[in-house]
Chain A
Amino acid sequence: MTRIVTMTVNGEERELPSPVNRTLLDVLRAEGGLTGTKKGCDVGDCGACTVIMDGKPVNACLVLAVEAEGADILTIEGLQHGPDRPHLLQEKFMEHGGAQCGFCTPGIVMMAKALLDETPAPSEDEIRFALAGNICRCTGYTKIIEAVQDAADEMNKARAQ
């Protein structure tokens, strides 16, 4: 039973075909051409597939594509402001060495974005709490946390001015 699912993906209305037993993750990757969202475990344990759905971070592997009918989805590809204009979080991940193998990175950047949307000046503990569902096996999280903290500081400085 294949359906056409209509959703807004990175600001663009998309009609993506999907059987009812396929996840948003698989459909975004295969039909949407958005392979930045990664499949690390497919059961909600690793966070590599984190996308922002209707303003909230979710695991795309735990959402059926048909459940996303009418939803507004932001993926890693939609975060930058344009070609060669990365989002500040992306800049900071580059600067601080927050990405090594990079496979967890899109999910972590999306989770960090969701965190900063809700908590603009998070403490280190709040960052660690927010990233609890994102497994990074390369960095020990040290540089990821530095990157998020630095991005938050810079955004807040910009807001204050």
Chain B
Amino acid sequence: MRRFDYYQPESLEEASALMADLGSEASVIAGGTDLLVEIKEELRKPLHVVDIKKIPGLKDYRYDAEAGLRFGALVAARELEIWAPVIEHYPNLRTAVSALGSIQVRNRATVVGNVCRASPSADTIPPLVADGASLSVYNRGQERHILVEDLFTGPGRTVLVPGDIVTGISVPPSRPQSGRAYIKHGRRKAMELATVGVAVSLERDGNTCTEIRIALGAVAPTPIRARNAEALLRGRAIDPAAIAAIADAAMAESTPISNVRASAAYRREMVGVLTRRAIGQAMGGI
């Protein structure tokens, strides 16, 4: 592993100032499961690594029916995976965190890190986008909120600026008559990067879909919302024909690439299949 300087700030103020000073040559390390791999493989060459694990207050997570779910930047994927409120209210996020690497990785990897890494195939992003989650960002005394959906500008790129420290993520509460699902498609059952990931969160009134959000992973330079597809169902009756039309629309909205994992055509086709299946699962969960 190449050389870098290592810092352990003990407060948000200190960390933020440090990151602002060090600029683009600095990387934050929380779980480190992505960063260390990227350094070893020379995909990222930070001169400075800022460890935020000594900063207090970032390890908390809580849920209540009014405020929803909120977890800090140091909460490991595995903690959410085995936590009853997540299992009960956010099965989509549960599926995503359980599918992220191995238990060993998930004991270190943070969900905030998985999001901020901004990989198009990151598992936790589609369900968070579909649920309308937002990030809390601290920068030298200021706090602001960014919708997870609005975070990404390209593969590995975000709207975050030097000095920004993401302190946590908030997910709105689940509403009555709502259901959600995330389906990850890969070539084996675990230890996999998603070939395609589809998250669907929806609400219904009788057989009418009152709200739906579809988020797609690994089929565009960033995770995306399939808005045209959503519009086809929002306010309409949920029937097989409608679901088939949505699947087609979601396919049309995806712009996947071909690589060693799958061809673009296959990925697009899977968007259709998984969108249908995810809608079915989300409905089944109501």
Complex Cα distance A133/B222, Å?
27
Q: What is the chain A residue whose CB lies nearest that of B82? A: A118
- Give every chain A residue within 8 A of B32 (Cβ-Cβ): 62-64, 67
- Give every chain B residue within 8 A of A21 (Cβ-Cβ): 1-4, 6, 39
Residue in A23, A47, A53, A133 whose beta carbon sits within 8 Å of that of B36 in the complex = A23
- Give every chain B residue within 8 A of A133 (Cβ-Cβ): 101-105, 190-191
- Give every chain A residue within 8 A of B103 (Cβ-Cβ): 57, 111, 114, 130, 132-133
- Give every chain A residue within 8 A of B40 (Cβ-Cβ): 42-43
Could you tell me if A47 and B104 are in contact, using CB atoms closer than 8 angstroms?
A: yes
- Give every chain B residue within 8 A of A1 (Cβ-Cβ): 5-6
Could you tell me if B4 and A62 are in contact, using CB atoms closer than 8 angstroms?
A: no
Residue in B36, B78, B101 whose beta carbon sits within 8 Å of that of A64 in the complex = B36
Could you tell me if B4 and A111 are in contact, using CB atoms closer than 8 angstroms?
A: no
Could you tell me if B189 and A132 are in contact, using CB atoms closer than 8 angstroms?
A: yes
Interface readout for B1-20 with A: 1 if CB under 8 Å, 0 if not?
11111100000000000000
Could you tell me if A50 and B104 are in contact, using CB atoms closer than 8 angstroms?
A: yes
Q: What is the chain A residue whose CB lies nearest that of B6? A: A20
Interface membership of A22, Cβ < 8 A = yes
Complex Cα distance A87/B40, Å?
35
Q: What is the chain A residue whose CB lies nearest that of B78? A: A56
Q: Across the A-B interface, how many residue pairs have beta carbons closer than 8 Å?
A: 82
Could you tell me if B5 and A20 are in contact, using CB atoms closer than 8 angstroms?
A: yes
Could you tell me if A47 and B102 are in contact, using CB atoms closer than 8 angstroms?
A: yes
- Give every chain B residue within 8 A of A62 (Cβ-Cβ): 32-33, 36-37, 104-105, 108
Size bin of chain A's contact surface: 20 to 34
Size of the chain B interface, CB-CB below 8 angstroms: 28
Please provide the chain A residues from 65 to 98 with a CB less than 8 Å away from any CB of chain B in the complex: 66-67
Q: What is the chain B residue whose CB lies nearest that of A56? A: B107
Interface membership of B51, Cβ < 8 A = yes
Could you tell me if B191 and A132 are in contact, using CB atoms closer than 8 angstroms?
A: yes
Complex Cα distance A63/B36, Å?
8
CB proximity of B6 to chain A, nearest CB, Å: 4
Could you tell me if B37 and A44 are in contact, using CB atoms closer than 8 angstroms?
A: yes
Please provide the chain A residues from 120 to 161 with a CB less than 8 Å away from any CB of chain B in the complex: 129-130, 132-134
User: Mind listing 9 A-B residue pairs with CB under 8 Å?
Assistant: A20-B5, A21-B4, A23-B1, A23-B36, A45-B191, A57-B107, A62-B36, A66-B6, A67-B53
Shortest Cβ-Cβ A-B pairs, 7 listed: A133-B102, A132-B190, A20-B6, A56-B107, A21-B1, A59-B104, A43-B37
Apart from A21-B39, A53-B107: 14 A-B pairs, beta carbons within 8 A: A20-B5, A20-B6, A21-B1, A21-B6, A22-B1, A23-B36, A56-B78, A58-B104, A59-B108, A62-B104, A62-B108, A67-B32, A133-B102, A134-B102
